[in-house]
Amino acid sequence: MSTLTIGRLAQASGVNVETIRYYERRGILPPPPR
């Protein structure tokens, strides 16, 4: 399984990295496995 960095996800979706983090905090996106 390949991983997608937050930067690549933000770039691919056209949003800011902070937006992705906001979505994680709000529960819209699941937290990444660590």
Retrieve residue 29's tokens: 């996106």
* For range 15-28, the mean pLDDT: 96
Tokens for 15, please give them.
């949003």
Per-domain residue ranges of the chain:
1-34
- CA-only gyration radius of the chain, Å: 9
Residue 7 CA, distance from chain mean position: 8
pTM value is 0.75
| Band of residue 32 on the pLDDT scale cut at 50, 70, 90 | confident
